[in-house]
Structure 1
Amino acid sequence: MSPSAVKEGITYHNGKGEKRTVILIGNRVGKDGELYYKKEHDTGWYLMTLLGFARWAKGEVSGKESQSMNEVIKRDQYGYKIYPLLDGSEVLFAEEDKVLFHRDSPEDTAFTTDPETVYEALLDLIDSLQQQVAQLQEMSKLHNSGAKQLVQDLHTLRVDRDKLQEQLEERDRKIERLTNELGE
């Protein structure tokens, strides 16, 4: 199922006896977003990624295996999103009020802050993440090119094996023919 096909108010089945009703989809970024759902016999709302829900609905993963938004986006006891920075401090974001907080460590108290005071730290984090993404993309390219070469090598080896098999069969036929001629 495509994430874009998931709609609010619809109950989905994963083909394994589980049902979930989509309550709300928000904070969309590209094909992904936050999705709140209810389980069949439960009144609680649960949070997961839109992509994870689509994979669950296709039956690709179980509910436990599909990545929960709670694992992707850390939150504090008030539900504020937590963004760890490279220096060990954290920026917290209250979505409803659009307020930023900052704290020096997870154990410290968070204080409201002017967004300009954390821009440099956020940009450093973005730079770091972009470098990590670039490294992962490069590793993926190397992996894919290596896999492609292995497939090509395997094909070449199979062709060579088939030729050798034909040569052996021809040799066996020739030996049998010569043996028959000598026996006559």
Structure 2
Amino acid sequence: MGTTPAPNDSTSGVPRRGDPGPGGRFEGTGTSAPGGSVQGAGIPAPGSSGHAPEAPAPGFPTSDTTAPGTPVPAIPTPGRPVRGSAGGRPVMAALDLLGRRWTLRVIWELHVDGAPIGFRDLQRRCDDMSSSVLSTRLTELREAGIAASTSTAAQPAWHLTSLGDDLVTAMGPLLDWSRAWAERR
């Protein structure tokens, strides 16, 4: 009774996943990260100042969609390390790119009419998502070869490339599945 229990879920008495366990070790890994933080959690280890920044691994700039200190490539690319695959398997790179917030919606809206669309119109179609997020997603899709822009009189207009059209075609079975799923619910 004289000791203080580890932080836990008040209903089960089990330490929470992100809590440091006894001795400053992170539950599930048994290791502390260099720089005084608990590996993967961004939690200062006991007795440390916790001020040492966690730098991304070499060759891994962080993107805007990841937690601070989580190293992933800015633009997922087959053959380079991506979330879920140190070797950069193409399917994992595609899932990393497509799993970013708003990416699939942007692709869908570029696909719907098949005609190029301006930035502001695309933003409105995407429920007025922030312009910075839309700009980031369009840049990622352009660098991945899925979308491109063409200049019109006043502003660039965005459209899917042939690779982007192939992606939409490949997603057809998922669309069919989702409709069948909706009917069953």
Structure with greater helix percent: 1
Short-chain TM bin: under 0.3
Greater C-alpha Rg: 1
Specify which structure has the higher proportion of strand.
1
Q: Normalising to structure 2: TM-score of the pair?
A: 0.25
Q: TM (normalized to structure 1)?
A: 0.25
